[in-house]
Amino acid sequence: MPKNPKQKQKLLYIMKFFMEKTDDDYGVTVADIIDYLDEYGIAAERKSIYSDIECLRDFGFDIVKTKVGKISLFSLVSRDFTLEEIKLLIDAVQSSKFITLKKSRELIHKIERLTSENQAKELHRQVIVANRVKNSNENIYRNIDNINRAINNKKKIGFYYTQWAVMRSGAKKVTKVRRHDGMRYLLTPKALTWDDENYYLIAYDKEADILKHFRVDKMEDITVEEERADSAKAVDKFDLAMYTKQVFGMYGGETVSVKLRFDDSLIGVVVDRFSDKVFLQPHNDGTFTVSTEVMLSPQFYGWLFSFGDKVKVASPKAAKDGFTAYLGSVAKLYEK
């Protein structure tokens, strides 16, 4: 029986060593492995190390051998995530406003462990989160977990919804207050979606018989209720892809079928917003008409306004009148 109980864990330590110390650009020698094992009091001979490497290969680890002069180097060259994929994950965490600065650093540190220490150092040099606009709600992970649990178990959730308010007195000029005089919401959660770097809950309000959305970082004291989730047409036939295409900036409104006439130069913008499957009718004057469904809201009108005279609302009248009223309200601010 081995004197050191860790002797039985020898192969696990070798695997850990390969994952931490090697990659496409960095390899280790058999002597390096023996020295590493010796730090943990694990005795090993060169012959047994070669046998262990073969065992790991048979198990599926992509360990390759290269020659540098007379020295043989061994490296783990394939992992679950490529370096480019890890960079993408880190970029997503850095750009996410709903993840706090503290949580961002913790999550990035965990993501870095998906690669070798040498590559992690290269990644870390690119990590800059201090000056990003970040949320201050440290309960974001717990909120998301509770919402997902409610969705999976077909239960309702209860929560308070908050908003920022300007303070006219005192040292603090901005504070967070609960909406609707502290009313507690009781709704059927349907889906979580990410829009404009924020996480949103889409939930069904039975009393109003409509779908609503809420920024998850503004939700407080989320609880999974015993009450069963409501079933309704708006819930059962919900299409997340269609819903997010109709909503502009996660501000709801009346869903209507609209026709919009764009200048040809905006085709890229239209495809980015509605996809290349949108119904499109080209015209001979350098314009094209798009027919789609959207939610009429100030955010939708603001989106149109950003294109100036290169877009026109063709129909219906409600959309034309709404856009005209929006333009009038903006112009009124600049009247003498």
pTM, two decimals, is 0.58
Token pair recorded at residue 250: 């996660």
Residue 251, strand partner residues = 248
Residue 160's pLDDT is 96
For the domain 5-76, what is the CATH code? 1.10.10.10
Mean pLDDT by 10 residues, the chain (336 residues): 74 94 92 94 93 95 92 92 86 77 85 89 61 61 88 94 80 82 94 79 89 88 94 73 62 78 90 79 91 86 92 93 93 87
* 159, 184 contact by CB (below 8 A): yes
Token pair recorded at residue 130: 């201090």
For the domain with range 254-332, which CATH number is right: 3.40.50.1820, 3.40.50.300, 3.40.50.920, 3.30.70.240? Answer: 3.30.70.240
Angstrom distances, CA of residue 186 to CA of 137, 146, 226, 327: 21, 14, 11, 37
Residue 1's pLDDT is 45
Say which residues have a Cβ less than 8 Å from residue 19's Cβ, sequence separation at least 6: 76, 79, 116
* 188, 156 contact by CB (below 8 A): yes
Residue 136's pLDDT is 62
Residue 188, strand partner residues = 204
Residue 295's pLDDT is 83
Residue 58's pLDDT is 95
Biggest CA pair distance of the chain? 94
Residue 10's pLDDT is 93
